[in-house]
Chain A
Amino acid sequence: MNAYAPILVLGAIAAAFAVGSVVMASLTGPKRYNRAKLEAYECGIEPTPQPVGGGRFPIKYYLTAMLFIVFDIEIVFLYPWAVSFDALGIFGLVEMLLFIATVFVAYAYVWRRGGLEWD
Chain B
Amino acid sequence: MIATHALAAAGGNSPSIPAPHIEYGQLSPMLVVFGAALVGILAEAFLPRRLRAATQLGISLAGLVGGFVAVVVLAAQGHASTRAGLLAMGSVAIDGPALFLQGVILLTAVLAVLTYAEGRLEPRINGHRIDAFAAQAAAVPGGEQEREATREGLRTTEIYPLTLFAVGGMLLFPASNDLLTMFVALEVLSLPLYLMCAIARRRRLLSQEAAVKYFLLGAFASAFFLFGTALLYGYAGSLRLGEIADVVSGVAPVTPALAVTTQNDALLLIGLAMVSVGLLFKVGAVPFHSWTPDVYQGAPTPVTGFMAAATKTAAFGALLRLFYVAFPGIRWDWRPVMWGVAILTMVVGSILAVTQQDVKRLLAYSSIAHAGFILTGLIATDRRGVAAVLFYLLAYSFVTLGAFAVVTLVRDSKGEATHLSSWAGLGRRSPLLAAVFALFLLAFAGIPLTSGFTGKFAVFQAAAGGGAAPLVIVGVLSSAIAAFFYIRVIVLMFFSDPQPSGPAVAVPSALTATTIAFGVLVTLGLGLLPQYFLDLATKASIFIR
Chain A directly contacts chain B within the complex, with at least one CB pair under 8 Å: yes
Chain A interface (Cβ < 8 Å from any Cβ of B): 1-3, 84, 86-89, 91-92, 95, 101-102, 105-106, 108-109, 111-113
Contacts of A84 in B (CB 8 A): 14, 17
Interface of A is mostly: helix
- Is B15 an interface residue, CB under 8 A from the partner? yes
Instruction: Judge whether B19 and A109 touch: CB under 8 Å.
Output: no
Question: Which residues of B from 1 to 40 have beta carbons under 8 Å from A?
Answer: 1, 3-4, 14-17, 19-20, 22, 38
Instruction: Judge whether B19 and A87 touch: CB under 8 Å.
Output: yes
A8 to B41, CA, bound (A): 47
Instruction: Judge whether B38 and A113 touch: CB under 8 Å.
Output: no
Contacts of A92 in B (CB 8 A): 19
Instruction: Supply 13 further A-B pairs (C-beta < 8 A) apart from A1-B1, A87-B19.
Output: A2-B4, A3-B4, A84-B14, A86-B15, A87-B16, A95-B22, A102-B38, A105-B42, A108-B46, A109-B44, A109-B45, A111-B45, A112-B45
A95 to B20, CA, bound (A): 10
7 contacts between A and B (CB under 8 A): A86-B15, A87-B16, A87-B19, A105-B38, A106-B41, A109-B42, A113-B45
Contacts of B46 in A (CB 8 A): 108, 112
Instruction: Judge whether A2 and B45 touch: CB under 8 Å.
Output: no
Interchain nearest-CB distance for B140 vs A (Å): 11
A-B interface, 6 closest residue pairs, ranked by CB to CB distance from nearest: A112-B45, A91-B19, A87-B17, A109-B45, A3-B4, A105-B38
Instruction: Judge whether A88 and B4 touch: CB under 8 Å.
Output: no
A91 to B17, CA, bound (A): 12
Instruction: Judge whether B42 and A87 touch: CB under 8 Å.
Output: no
Chain B interface (Cβ < 8 Å from any Cβ of A): 1, 3-4, 14-17, 19-20, 22, 38, 41-42, 44-46
**Which chain B residue lies CB-closest to A89?**
B19
Contacts of B15 in A (CB 8 A): 86-87
A88 to B15, CA, bound (A): 9
Instruction: Judge whether A88 and B19 touch: CB under 8 Å.
Output: yes
Interchain nearest-CB distance for B507 vs A (Å): 35
Contacts of B44 in A (CB 8 A): 109
A22 to B176, CA, bound (A): 55
Interchain nearest-CB distance for B416 vs A (Å): 29
Interchain nearest-CB distance for A90 vs B (Å): 8
Please judge, given known A-B contacts A91-B20, A108-B42, A109-B45, whether A2 and B14 are in contact too, CB under 8 Å.
no
Contacts of A2 in B (CB 8 A): 1, 3-4
Contacts of A3 in B (CB 8 A): 4
Instruction: Judge whether B45 and A88 touch: CB under 8 Å.
Output: no
Interchain nearest-CB distance for A115 vs B (Å): 11
A106 to B41, CA, bound (A): 7
A113 to B19, CA, bound (A): 38
Contacts of A1 in B (CB 8 A): 1
Instruction: Judge whether B19 and A105 touch: CB under 8 Å.
Output: no
**Which chain B residue lies CB-closest to A86?**
B15
A109 to B45, CA, bound (A): 5
Interchain nearest-CB distance for B33 vs A (Å): 14
**Which chain A residue lies CB-closest to B44?**
A109
Interchain nearest-CB distance for B55 vs A (Å): 15
A101 to B38, CA, bound (A): 10
A106 to B162, CA, bound (A): 12
Instruction: Judge whether B41 and A109 touch: CB under 8 Å.
Output: yes
